[in-house]
Structure 1
Amino acid sequence: VSKNIEFTEKTLDYMERVRLCNYNDFDLNNHAKHLFEQACEATGIKIDAKVRFTSDMTIYRVTVDSLEQLNAMGEFEGVYSAEKTYPILASMDFLDTETTVAVKQPDEEEEYPVVGVLDTGIADISYLTPWKETEEHTNYPSEYQDNSHGTFVAGIIEYGDELNGTNVSSLNGVKLFNAVVHPGNTMPIYPEELIDNVREAVENNPEIKIWNLSLGTTMESELDEFSEFGMALDNIQDENNVLIIKSAGNCTNFAKGLPKSRISKTADSVRSLVVGSIAETQEEKDYAEPNMPSPFTRVGPGPASIVKPDLVYYGGNAGIENGKIVINGVPSFGLDGSVYRNVGTSFSTPRVSRIAAELAFMMHEDFDALLIKALMIHYAKYPADIKMKMTDKVAQMGFGMPVGAREILYNSPDEITLILRDTLEKGSFIEMFDFPYPTSLVDGNGFFRGQIILTLVNKSLVDEKQAGEYCQSNIDVLFGTYETEKERDVTKPTIKNPRGVDVNQNLLADSLYSASAKGVHPITGFERECTLVKYGKKFHPVKKYAIDLADMTPSNRDKWLPSNRKWYLKIEGLYRDFIEKEAVKKDFQLSQEYCMILTIRDPERTAPVYDEVAQQLTTRNFIHHDVRVRNVVHVANE
C-alpha cells in the first residue's frame, strides 16, 4: 500500500484529516485503528472526530499542536495520508429583487414526492412551511442554526417555476424534508462531520430516496484519485438505495483572469448526479452569454477522466465591475420571506433534484436510483445554439440540461424508448440477434435512417484502495447491423455463444460519421444531444451515444445501412485484475448492475416507430412491459 503523507503547512495547532492504510483484512485494519488511537493518546494528539466514510475506510480528524506530535504522526506506519482539513462553507450574499409570487398550499387529499434537503435548515416562512414534512432531522440546536442557505435552496425546489416563469415541473408541488446537517455561518464544520451528519439523516429516513446536497469544499479534485468525501457519498447511496443530487462547486478564478477550477473534492462521487451551472441571461457586466457555462461553475473532467459534472441547470451569471464581483442571480426566498437573488451551483442543483423526485414518484415502480440517474442523463440536452467543441461541452456541461419528468415518461408515436435493467455476472453477456428496428425507417434509396440515442449506466464495483482505478468494473455495449448469423466453435476458450453475427458493424463507432456530425459545426438540431463514442470510455460508469444515421459517410452507409441487413445488440462486462483476484481469494461471484436505455426516433416525426417496434417485440418473443405511470394532474404555471 502506498503511503502519502503531505505536511504541506507545518504551522502548529491545526486540524489534520488522517486516513489509515487498508490492509484488506478486517482484523489487521482493526488492529491498526487501535494502535493509532493508542499512539495519539501517548503523544497527546487529540482525536476530534472518528467517522466511517465507507465500510473499509475510517477518517480521523486530529488536532496537532507541537512539532513532536507532527513527527510522531508521520512516523506511524499505518497512516496512508494526512493533510490539513478545511471547513465546509455555506456562504450567502443576497441581492434584493422586486419579484413576488403567490403562496402555494398542498392539497390534503393529494400525495406528493419528497425531496430531502441536506443543508443548513429551512426557515418557517409562509411560502415553505405548508410544504415542510412534520418530521425533520437536525444535528444542531436551533440557536446554532443559520437557515439562510437551506431556505434559499428549498425555495428553488418548491417555487422554481413560479419564480422564473417556466413550466419545467410536472407536479404542483413537492414535500420538503428538512435535514439540518450544517449550522450555516454560526460555526465551522469539517468534511468528516458533514459526512457523519449526512449518513445519519439518510439512514434514519429510509423512505426518502432523493436528497439534495448543495454543500461542499473549495478544494479541487485530483486527476488520478477520488476523494474520501466522494467515496463516502457513494457508500451512503449504495447502503441506503438513494440518489444524491450534488452541486459541482464554485470558484472565483474568472475574477483573476484564470480558467475555471475543476470540480471540487466533494463532487467526484460516481453514484451522485453532479450538477454544474449555466447562465440564463446576460447583463452588461456579465461574463457568460445566455446558455453558456456560468463564470463561477467548476468543470470536468473528474478523476480518471470520468464525465463530471453529469448535468447543468441555470445557476446565474457574474462579472467584474470596479474590481469587484457582481452577480446576476437566480431568485428564491430569504429568512424574511422576501425574494432575493444569488448565484452558484448550490442553486442550479435544486431544480434537478425536483425533476428527479417527480420522475421517481410518477413512475409508480419500486425506487431504482440507477434507473432514475440513467433516465435523467439519457434525456438531457445541450441548450440550443451552443458554439462549443464537443470536448468543451462535455467538460463544462456534462451530458447537458435535463428535461421535465413528463417529457421523459411520455413518448410520441414517432419514437420508442426501450429500457434494459439487469445484473450481469462475470463470464456472462447479453446478445440479441434480429433486434427490432422499425421498418418505416428506410429511405427511398433502401438505406436505414433514424436517430439513435443509447445511454448505459452501470453500478461499477468500487474499491477505495485503488486510487484512479477506484471503478473496478465496466460494461460495454455494441449496437449495429450484420449480414447473416453463423455457427461458432464453443470449444475455443474465448467463445461462449454457439451462434454469432457475420459481416457485422457496431454503429456507435465515432469513425463512421462525418466531422460535421460531431457538434463542431452544428447544422441540424441534433447536436443538442450528440456525444458519440469518444465519451464512452472504459471503466466510466456513464456512457452516452447519440447518432443520426444520415450523418454516416457515404462509403460506410453503403456497407452498413442497406435495409436487407439485420440489427444486433450486445452487452458484456469487464473487470480489473485486482477485483478478479479478490473474488477468487474471498470466493464470491463478480456481478454488476446496469441500466441501458435506447431511443429510436424518426427525425422527420412521421413514422409510426412506437407501434412498429412494440409489435416486433411481441412477434419475436421479447419479454417486455410498459413502465407504470401514476395518473397525476398538473396545473401549468401562467
Structure 2
Amino acid sequence: MRVRLAKEDVNSNYKVSLIDVSREKDFVKILEDYNIKYKRTEYFKDLFMYKLIDINSKFIMILQEKASNYIKYIEPVSIYSLPLQIEDEDGEIPVVYPEENKDYVTLGVIDNGIAHIKHLDPWIKRVHTRFLREETSTTHGTFVSGIALYGDKLENREIVKNEPFYLLDATVLSATTIEEDDLLKNITLAIEENYKRVKIWNLSLSVRLGIEEDTFSDFGVVLDHLQKTYGVLILKSAGNGGNFMKQLPKGKLYHGSDSLLSLVVGSITNEGYASNYSRVGLGPKGTIKPDIASYGGDLLRGDNGEMIMKGVNSFSRNGNVASSSGTSFATARISSLATIIYQNICKDFKDFSDFNPILLKALIIHSAKNTDKNLSVEEIGYGIPSTSTEILSYFKNENIKIFNGVMEKNQEIELDASFFNYKKDIKIKLTLVYDTEFDYLQKGDYIKSDIKIKNISENGKNLTRKFEGILERNKKIELYSDNDIKKNYTLIIEKLN
C-alpha cells in the first residue's frame, strides 16, 4: 500500500485504488462504519477510483491497519487548474474560410472551450460540453486552436505547413478548477460520444503529479484504454514545470504523459534548445516519453528573479493576436500535423474506416530529427518532426517502404534486391510502431506483448523503436514477439544511401 500525504497533513480529498477488486464491499463497509463521505468513479470495467472526502492521516492509519493488503495506493486527489499567462501582441492575419464542396476531417480539442472569434468560428463544427457558456473561460482552448489552424502564419515560417480542418470543441473543464476524477470522466465522455466522427484529439491538459518509475498512472491507463477501445489517436502535452525559477533541475513528466499509445509532446525554443519549463522523461519502465517535441516558446528567469516570457503567437479569446508559452502549444502543432497528414490520405470521409493511428505515429516519429543542440531523448524523445509536405512525400518516395500489418509471434519483411540497387548492403533508417494489449490493472507487465527486431532492436519493452544502421541485401528483417497476442504494426524503412 503506497501512501502519499497532503502537505502539512491538512484535511483533503484522497483517491484510493484497490489491488483486489473482490474486496470492494469490505472497503466500502470501512468507509461507512467511520462515516466517511466518498465518490466512486468507474472509467471502464474493473478500473475505478474512490475519492474519500475531507480526510487526513488519522483515517489513513485506519485503512493501513484494516485494508493495506488490498489497497494499491492512497494519495491526495490532484486538482487541475489552468494558470495561463497570455499577452496581447500587435498584428493581424487574414481569416481562412472553408471551401465549398471540400471534405475536411475534424480535430477534437479537449480543453476549456474555444471562443467563437472570427478566425476560428468558421471551423468549429461541433461543441461538446457539460458546462454553461458563462461558466467557460475559453482562454486556453482558443490559444491551442489558433496554433493548430494558423500556427505557421502566426510565426511567419513553416513549422507544420498548415492546412485548414474542422474543430470539435470538447469542453471538459470550466473557468474554475476540477479534480482528477471529474476531469478524466469528462475526457472519457467526450471521446465516447464523438469517436465516430473525430479520430484525432488534442489533449493539452495535465494533473500536477510526476510520473512513477515503475507504475503507469491512472490518467495514462485511461488514455491508453480510450485509444484501444475507440480507435483514436491522442496528442498529449508533456506538462510544464517551474523549477527553472528556483534554479533546480527539471521535473518528471506529469501523469497522463506516460500514456503509451498517445503521442506525447515536449517543447523546444526558437534557438533549438529544450524549453526551460518542458518536463522530462523517460516514462515508467524506461519507455520513450516524450515521443517528440515542437516549438512551444520559452520562459526565462531574469537577473532579478522575475519570469520573462518569449512566447509563441496565437489568439486570445477576444480575437486579438497574443503570445504565451507551454508544451500545450507545441502539442497543438503536432495535432495539426497529424490531422493534415490524415486529411490528405483519408479516402472515407464519412465513416473514417481507413483511419490508422499507428501509421500516423510512425510517419511522424520517422520524420523526427534532433536539433543542432543535440538534445537528450529524455527532453525531446525522437526529435522534431518534419513538415506535413515532407511526410506526405514518403508515399511517393522510392527510397521509402511502408509496411502495415497484423502480427502475432513472428513476421518476416523481405526487400527486393532493386531496393538495394543490387549492392551488398545499404544504410537504412528504420521505424517500428505497434499497439498491443495492456494489463490495465498492472498485476504483471503493463505491455502484455511487445515486438522486437532481431539483431537490431531487442532491449526493453516499448511501443516505438527507431534505428539507423547497415542492412545486408540477403538479410530479411525479422520481427518477433514473446507470445501470440495480435498486434497492429507499421514498419517504415528508408534507404539513406
Shared fold (TM-score, shorter chain, > 0.5): yes
Q: Are 1:376 and 2:360 matched, yes or no?
A: no
2:212 maps to which residue? Answer: 222
In the TM superposition, what whole-angstrom CA distance separates every residue of 1:400-422 from its partner, at most 9, and x where no partner exists? 11122331122497743222222
Q: Which amino acid aligns with 1:311?
A: I
2:351 maps to which residue? Answer: none
Deviation at 1:12, TM superposition (A): 4.4
SS of structure 1 residue aligned to 2:194: coil
1:568 maps to which residue? Answer: 476
Residue from 487, 490, 497 that aligns with 1:595: 490
Q: Please identify, of 590-599 and 119-128, the stretch whose mean Cα deviation from structure 2 is larger.
A: 590-599
- Residues 252 and 10 of structure 1: CA distance in aligned 2, closer, same or farther (over 3 Å): closer
In the TM superposition, what whole-angstrom CA distance separates every residue of 1:233-271 from its partner, at most 9, and x where no partner exists? 101111110000000001111122211112111211001
Deviation at 1:467, TM superposition (A): 6.8
Deviation at 1:72, TM superposition (A): 3.6
Residue from 421, 430, 440 that aligns with 1:454: 430
CA contact (8 A) 2:204 2:237 kept: yes
Q: Are 1:396 and 2:379 matched, yes or no?
A: yes
More strand per residue: 1 or 2? Answer: 2
Q: Which amino acid aligns with 2:447?
A: C
1:198 maps to which residue? Answer: 187
Deviation at 1:431, TM superposition (A): 2.8
Q: Give the share of equivalent positions with the same residue, in percent.
A: 31
In the TM superposition, what whole-angstrom CA distance separates every residue of 1:536-564 from its partner, at most 9, and x where no partner exists? 632111110123x5xxxxxxxxxx86xxx
- Residues 161 and 421 of structure 1: CA distance in aligned 2, closer, same or farther (over 3 Å): same
SS of structure 2 residue aligned to 1:100: coil
- Residues 212 and 35 of structure 1: CA distance in aligned 2, closer, same or farther (over 3 Å): same
SS of structure 1 residue aligned to 2:358: helix
| Rounded Cα–Cα distance in structure 1 between residues aligned with 2:441 and 2:394 | 43
Residue from 213, 228, 244 that aligns with 1:238: 228
SS of structure 2 residue aligned to 1:469: coil
In the TM superposition, what whole-angstrom CA distance separates every residue of 1:179-235 from its partner, at most 9, and x where no partner exists? 00011xx32211111110011000101210000000002221111111111111101
* Alignment of structure 1 residues 324-335 onto 2, 5 Å: 324-335=306-317
- Residues 89 and 537 of structure 1: CA distance in aligned 2, closer, same or farther (over 3 Å): farther
In the TM superposition, what whole-angstrom CA distance separates every residue of 1:333-387 from its partner, at most 9, and x where no partner exists? 111111111011011100100111111221125001111111111111223x22x
Please list every run of 5 or more consecutive structure 2 residues that lacks an aligned counterpart in the other structure. 348-353
Q: Which amino acid aligns with 2:127?
A: E
Kindly name which structure, 1 or 2, has the bigger radius of gyration based on alpha carbons.
Answer: 1
| Rounded Cα–Cα distance in structure 2 between residues aligned with 1:336 and 1:180 | 18
Q: Are 1:358 and 2:340 matched, yes or no?
A: yes
| Rounded Cα–Cα distance in structure 1 between residues aligned with 2:395 and 2:448 | 38
1:475 maps to which residue? Answer: 451
- Residues 356 and 413 of structure 1: CA distance in aligned 2, closer, same or farther (over 3 Å): closer
**Length, aligned pairs only:** 487
| Rounded Cα–Cα distance in structure 2 between residues aligned with 1:433 and 1:421 | 14
User: Superposition RMSD on alpha carbons, in Å?
Assistant: 2.3
SS of structure 1 residue aligned to 2:363: helix
1:91 maps to which residue? Answer: 83
In the TM superposition, what whole-angstrom CA distance separates every residue of 1:434-493 from its partner, at most 9, and x where no partner exists? 753535364xxxx534x3111111213211333783112111113xxxxxxxxxxxxxxx
Deviation at 1:161, TM superposition (A): 1.4
- Residues 405 and 20 of structure 1: CA distance in aligned 2, closer, same or farther (over 3 Å): same
Q: Are 1:104 and 2:102 matched, yes or no?
A: no
- Residues 189 and 40 of structure 1: CA distance in aligned 2, closer, same or farther (over 3 Å): same
2:118 maps to which residue? Answer: 126
- Residues 422 and 298 of structure 1: CA distance in aligned 2, closer, same or farther (over 3 Å): same
* Alignment of structure 1 residues 40-79 onto 2, 5 Å: 40-48=31-39, 50-65=40-55, 69-74=59-64, 75-76=66-67, 77-79=69-71
Deviation at 1:81, TM superposition (A): 1.0
CA contact (8 A) 1:32 1:78 kept: yes
Deviation at 1:167, TM superposition (A): 3.3
CA contact (8 A) 2:449 2:485 kept: no
* Alignment of structure 1 residues 413-432 onto 2, 5 Å: 415-425=398-408, 428-432=409-413
| Rounded Cα–Cα distance in structure 1 between residues aligned with 2:416 and 2:170 | 47
Deviation at 1:328, TM superposition (A): 0.1
1:270 maps to which residue? Answer: 260
Deviation at 1:171, TM superposition (A): 5.7
SS of structure 2 residue aligned to 1:341: strand
| Rounded Cα–Cα distance in structure 2 between residues aligned with 1:361 and 1:118 | 20
Moved over 6 A (4+): none
CA contact (8 A) 1:218 1:250 kept: no
Q: Please identify, of 270-279 and 121-130, the stretch whose mean Cα deviation from structure 2 is larger.
A: 121-130
Residue from 157, 164, 169 that aligns with 1:173: 164
1:36 maps to which residue? Answer: 27
| Rounded Cα–Cα distance in structure 1 between residues aligned with 2:10 and 2:249 | 33
CA contact (8 A) 1:106 1:131 kept: yes
Deviation at 1:67, TM superposition (A): 6.1
In the TM superposition, what whole-angstrom CA distance separates every residue of 1:382-401 from its partner, at most 9, and x where no partner exists? 23x22x3xxx5211110111
Q: Which amino acid aligns with 1:600?
A: K
In the TM superposition, what whole-angstrom CA distance separates every residue of 1:25-58 from its partner, at most 9, and x where no partner exists? xxxx3x433333333233211113x222343311
In the TM superposition, what whole-angstrom CA distance separates every residue of 1:282-304 from its partner, at most 9, and x where no partner exists? xxxxxxxx011011101111111
Q: Please identify, of 310-319 and 215-224, the stretch whose mean Cα deviation from structure 2 is larger.
A: 215-224
Q: Which amino acid aligns with 1:574?
A: D
Please list every run of 5 or more consecutive structure 1 residues that lacks an aligned counterpart in the other structure. 23-28, 281-289, 479-505, 509-532, 550-559, 576-588, 603-638
- Residues 439 and 323 of structure 1: CA distance in aligned 2, closer, same or farther (over 3 Å): closer
CA contact (8 A) 1:254 1:260 kept: yes
| Rounded Cα–Cα distance in structure 2 between residues aligned with 1:467 and 1:355 | 36
